[in-house]
């Protein structure tokens, strides 16, 4: 089973990029972030062979889960813990016996400030809910754009990011605490010493210089972690014209037949 996460940075404006990549990589499950729209190109996604559930938002945020050849079974549209939070940042579905939580964690800049406070509050809600998922003892994944640079290995020239909300100590500690609950960071587990960047800014030839960040993550519950076979960043789509500033991150799981 191939499972991917991709921050598309506007699904309707970059639909051709998404469809080209789906045809090229053929993932079984895809988590999308930053749809930036309340409209979703369902007909085009259907024609590409994928069922979908989504939660959009005008101009900002927005998340979706695609499943090849089937409709995902929607289990949740919001992260619990704050009924007044209307941001479209979390969606969850069951697919082939695996629970998929697709998330787009707040950026938090400028920090300190209200946006950074919201990021930390959202992170605490994620930690609380992630703990509940672990208590279920089911195969579960938390996957998406976490807007967190976990360590110095995960950023080009870390000294330039010390005051950024993606790299501040509070955020890195929150991510470490989340993983410490028992989740496995798929990319870092299989590639402990490689940067594996997934985001490059548009300016100053960042992609060409590989001046990037690793902020798109796949976390596996203890039930799913032993099934992990590969984890990689698909850099090629980042080189295409008019593409997202993120690249897809994809893992492969060897799911036992009795689980399918």
Domains and CATH numbers, the chain: 2-259 (3.60.10.10)
Helix axes 169-180, 114-136, angle to 10 degrees: 10
DSSP string, 199-232: B--SSTTTTTTT--B--EEEEE-TTTGGGEEEEE
Please report the pLDDT score of residue 83 as a whole number.
94
Percent of the chain whose predicted confidence (pLDDT) is above 70: 99
Is residue 50 within 8 A of residue 64, CB to CB? The reply is no
Token readout for 7 is 């921050």
Q: What is the dihedral of CA 37, 39, 42, 48, to 10 degrees?
A: -30
Please report the pLDDT score of residue 235 as a whole number.
98
Residue 113: asked if its preceding bond is cis (omega within 30°), the reply is no
pLDDT tens digits, one per residue of 177-205: 999 999 999 999 999 999 999 999 999 99
Please report the pLDDT score of residue 260 as a whole number.
66
Answer yes or no: is pLDDT of 12 > 80: yes
pLDDT tens digits, one per residue of 94-107: 999 999 999 999 99
Q: How far is CA 235 from CA 21, 121, 245, in A?
A: 11, 32, 11
Rounded Cα gap, residues 26 and 10, in angstroms: 21
Rounded Cα gap, residues 233 and 186, in angstroms: 11
Answer yes or no: is pLDDT of 214 > 90: yes
Q: The pTM is what?
A: 0.98
Token readout for 205 is 């030839």
pLDDT tens digits, one per residue of 132-181: 999 999 999 999 999 999 999 999 999 999 999 999 999 999 999 999 99
């Amino acid at each position: 089973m191939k499972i991917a996460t991709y921050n598309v940075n506007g699904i309707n404006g970059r639909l051709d990029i998404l469809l080209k990549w789906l045809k090229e990589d053929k993932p079984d499950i895809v988590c999308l972030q930053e749809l930036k729209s309340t409209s979703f190109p369902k007909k085009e996604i259907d024609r590409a062979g994928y069922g979908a559930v989504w939660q959009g938002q005008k101009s900002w945020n927005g998340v979706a889960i695609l499943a090849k050849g089937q409709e995902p079974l929607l289990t949740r549209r919001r992260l619990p813990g704050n009924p007044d939070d209307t941001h479209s940042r979390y969606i969850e579905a069951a697919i082939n016996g695996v629970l998929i939580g697709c998330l787009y964690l707040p950026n938090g800049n400028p920090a300190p400030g209200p946006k950074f406070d919201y990021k930390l509050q959202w992170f605490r809600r994620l930690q609380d809910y992630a703990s509940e998922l672990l208590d279920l003892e089911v195969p579960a994944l938390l996957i998406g754009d976490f807007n967190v640079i976990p360590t110095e290995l995960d950023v080009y020239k870390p000294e330039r990011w010390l005051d950024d909300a993606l790299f501040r100590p509070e955020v890195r500690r929150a991510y470490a605490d989340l993983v410490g609950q028992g989740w496995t960071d798929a990319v870092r587990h299989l590639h402990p010493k490689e940067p594996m960047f997934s985001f490059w800014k548009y300016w100053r030839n960042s992609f060409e210089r590989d001046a990037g960040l690793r902020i798109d993550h796949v976390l596996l519950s203890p039930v799913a972690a032993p099934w992990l076979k590969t984890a990689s960043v698909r850099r090629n789509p980042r080189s295409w014209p008019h593409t997202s500033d993120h690249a897809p991150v994809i893992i492969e799981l060897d799911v036992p037949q009795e689980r399918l």
